[in-house]
Amino acid sequence: MLIKGTDLNEKQKKQVCNAFVYRWTFENYDRASQGYGRLGCPTIGLIWDDDWLSQYSFHFVKDGSRLAANRHHCVRT
């Protein structure tokens, strides 16, 4: 099931942030070391995690306890 980033509880937010290591946000301190390869780092401005979360929905299992293992992307809302 899809859950909007604004509707995530704290445990779900932590799971999402740990799973999406390539997000270009201030709180993602490892963002530059994630291996963007020959593409280089993104040239867009940094945003806060809450702003990033508000722009996407995430695939969770039906009870909302964890991210769905068969989905490896988020959906722009």
CA-based nearest residue to 54, from 1, 4, 3, 2: 4
pLDDT digits (tens, 9 = 90+) for 38-56: 667 778 889 999 999 999 9
Note the residue count of the chain: 77
The residue segments making up the domain with residue 53 are 2-76
Number of domains the chain is built from:
1
pLDDT digits (tens, 9 = 90+) for 31-42: 777 766 666 777
pLDDT of residue 70: 95
Pairwise CA distance, residues 16 & 37, whole Å: 23
